[in-house]
């Protein structure tokens, strides 16, 4: 229920819910307008979690603030921070991503660290024990990008494969199983992937050739395959091509073609598909009103 914005000059703004200090302005007052985070500069990566926030600056330092009830701030305690503070003894970070109550960091050498809640194995260390300090994700090849779902994490390997760990009872890891994974598992039959995103109960990926794959739960049509049947493995959406950008919402998915045309599918109770209706769609519909 909060939003972070990274400007081209490396500054960060935040707005929305602030009960746990996740806006980082030193207060717990909600804000309906963007507030500038004074303590951050030269930022290159940001991520808004369930009730906490993360940022990385150009030197590879990670800053964290907001809720810390599961250790998701990585500061060795369970104390929340209302302002951004660097995570000590953590350096060389290229990017971060925040889940509901866990955090992950991609290091420049392609390895991944994780901390916070681990009830579903989302820290990828072979256990279900929460951690208040960053620890290495095990059994993972070199990674070039990563994205947290609510209770699971997806990573793109340097070979273009998708690896995931954490909650998998609805198939959101795409490995053909429906059991949680405390260590990384590879999504089936996916290669040459450009980016992969995890949501609450589904996941999606785009290949370098512009193909879209979805997998996991489908009760809200978030897989976009014309059905409401779940899939334990990635399946291609043949109706889409030349896709370059992807974002997975809680129960809906958005993509953008190389020409700037945008499509969406899934739950639409609040108009999140942008097609002028509030009708759920199990196939991609064009988002209206976008240049």
Over residues 129-161, the pLDDT tens digits come to 999 999 999 999 999 999 999 999 999 999 999
Task: Report the chain's mean pLDDT, rounded to a whole number.
Answer: 98
Give yes or no for a contact between 95 and 155, defined as CB atoms under 8 angstroms apart: no
Q: What is the mean pLDDT of residues 108-119?
A: 98
Model pLDDT for residues 43-79, shown as the tens digit of each residue: 999 999 999 999 999 999 999 999 999 999 999 999 9
Sign of the C-alpha dihedral, residues 190, 93, 102, 40?
negative
CA 57/CA 250 separation, integer angstroms: 28
pTM as predicted: 0.97
Q: What is the mean pLDDT of residues 265-282?
A: 98
């Amino acid at each position: 229920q909060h939003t972070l914005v990274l400007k081209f000059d490396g500054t960060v703004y935040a707005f929305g819910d602030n009960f746990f200090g996740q806006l980082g302005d030193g207060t717990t007052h909600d804000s309906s307008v963007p507030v500038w985070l004074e303590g951050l500069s030269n930022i290159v990566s940001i991520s808004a979690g369930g009730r906490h926030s993360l940022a990385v600056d150009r030197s590879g330092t990670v800053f964290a603030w907001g809720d810390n009830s599961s250790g998701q701030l990585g500061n060795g305690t369970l104390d929340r921070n209302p302002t951004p503070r660097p995570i000590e003894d953590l350096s060389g970070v290229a990017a971060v991503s925040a889940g509901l109550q866990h955090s992950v960091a991609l290091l420049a050498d392609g390895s991944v660290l994780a901390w916070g809640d681990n009830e579903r194995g989302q820290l990828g260390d072979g256990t279900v024990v929460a951690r208040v300090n960053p620890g290495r994700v095990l059994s993972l090849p070199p990674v070039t990008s990563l994205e947290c779902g609510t209770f699971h994490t997806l990573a793109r390997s340097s070979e273009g494969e998708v690896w995931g760990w954490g909650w998998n009872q609805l198939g959101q890891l795409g490995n053909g199983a429906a059991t949680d994974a405390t260590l990384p598992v590879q999504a089936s039959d996916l290669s040459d992937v450009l980016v992969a995103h995890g949501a609450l109960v589904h996941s999606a990926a785009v290949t370098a050739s512009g193909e879209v794959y979805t997998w996991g739960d489908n009760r809200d049509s978030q897989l976009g395959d014309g059905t409401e049947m779940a899939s334990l493995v990635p399946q291609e959406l043949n109706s889409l091509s030349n896709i370059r950008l992807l974002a997975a919402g809680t129960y809906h998915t958005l993509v953008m073609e190389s020409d700037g045309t945008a499509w969406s599918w899934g739950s639409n109770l609040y108009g999140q598909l942008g097609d002028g209706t509030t009708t759920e769609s199990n196939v991609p519909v064009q988002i209206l009103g976008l240049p």
